[in-house]
Structure 1
Amino acid sequence: MDDLGAALRDWRDRLDPADAGLTRNGRRRAPGLRREELAVLAGISIDYVVRLEQGRASTPSAQVCGALARALQLADEESAHLLRLAGHAADPGRVPRLIPASVRRIGERLAGHPLAVYDATWCLLHWNPLFAATFGDPTGEREGTSLLLRHFTDGLPRIRFTPAQREAFEESLVSDLRSTTSRYPRDPDVASLVAELLTGPRFAELWDRRTVAGHESAHKVVEHPEIGDVELDSDTLTTQGSNLRVVVYTPRPGSDAAGKLELLAALGTQRMAPRV
Structure 2
Amino acid sequence: MNSRGEQVEGNDPDGEPLPDLLRFWRRRIDPLKVPGLVAAGRRGEGLTQNDVARLAGVSVRWYGALERDIKADYSVDFLDRVSSALRLNPAERRALYLKSVGRPPALTASPEAGTAVPVDGTLLQRFLDLQAPAPAFATDLVWNVIAHNQRLRDWFPWAADRGANLMRWTFLTPEAREQLVAWEQDWARPFLGRIRYERAHHPKDKGLLELERDILAGSSAAREMWDRRDVVEHSHGALRRLRLPHHQGRETAVRIVALRPMRSDLLRVVVLLEEQEGTDGDI
Normalised TM-score (structure 1): 0.51
**Change over 3 Å in CA distance of 1:167–1:235 after alignment to 2:** same
Shift, 1:177, TM fit: 0.8
1:99 aligns with 2:119: yes
Give 1:176's aligned residue.
Answer: 194
Q: Distance in 2 between matches of 1:175 and 1:134?
A: 25
Give 2:265's aligned residue.
Answer: 242
Give 1:191's aligned residue.
Answer: 209
Matches within 5 A, 1:27-42: none
Q: Distance in 2 between matches of 1:236 and 1:159?
A: 22
Q: Distance in 2 between matches of 1:149 and 1:236?
A: 21
CA contact (8 A) 2:135 2:149 kept: yes
Shift, 1:160, TM fit: 3.0
Shift, 1:169, TM fit: 1.2
**Residues 31-63 of structure 1, C-alpha deviations (whole Å, 9 max, x = no match):** xxxxxxxxxxxxxxxxxxxxxxxxxxxxxxxxx
Which of structures 1 and 2 has the larger relative contact order (alpha carbons within 8 angstroms, sep 6+)? 1
Helix, strand or coil at the partner of 1:198 = helix
**Change over 3 Å in CA distance of 1:222–1:162 after alignment to 2:** closer
Two-structure CA RMSD over aligned residues (Å): 2.8
Shift, 1:206, TM fit: 2.2
Matches within 5 A, 1:66-215: 92-95=110-113, 97-100=117-120, 103-136=124-157, 138-139=159-160, 141-143=161-163, 145-156=164-175, 160-163=179-182, 166-199=184-217, 200-215=219-234
**Residues 176-204 of structure 1, C-alpha deviations (whole Å, 9 max, x = no match):** 11111122222211111111112122212
Task: Pick from 210, 219, 229 the counterpart of residue 240 of structure 2.
Answer: 219
**Change over 3 Å in CA distance of 1:236–1:250 after alignment to 2:** closer
CA contact (8 A) 2:136 2:148 kept: yes
Shift, 1:205, TM fit: 2.0
Gaps in structure 1 of 5+ consecutive residues: 1-90, 256-276
**Change over 3 Å in CA distance of 1:131–1:230 after alignment to 2:** farther
Q: Distance in 1 between matches of 2:118 and 2:239?
A: 25
Q: What is the count of residue pairs matched by the alignment?
A: 162
Shift, 1:173, TM fit: 0.7
Large movers: runs of 4+ above 6 Å: none
Give 1:79's aligned residue.
Answer: none
**Residues 128-164 of structure 1, C-alpha deviations (whole Å, 9 max, x = no match):** 011111222533x341x4322222111345953444x
% identical equivalent positions:
18
Give 2:277's aligned residue.
Answer: 254
Gaps in structure 2 of 5+ consecutive residues: 1-108, 279-283
CA contact (8 A) 1:119 1:243 kept: yes
CA contact (8 A) 2:125 2:147 kept: no
Normalised TM-score (structure 2): 0.50
Task: Pick from 231, 253, 256 the counterpart of residue 232 of structure 1.
Answer: 253
**Change over 3 Å in CA distance of 1:108–1:147 after alignment to 2:** closer
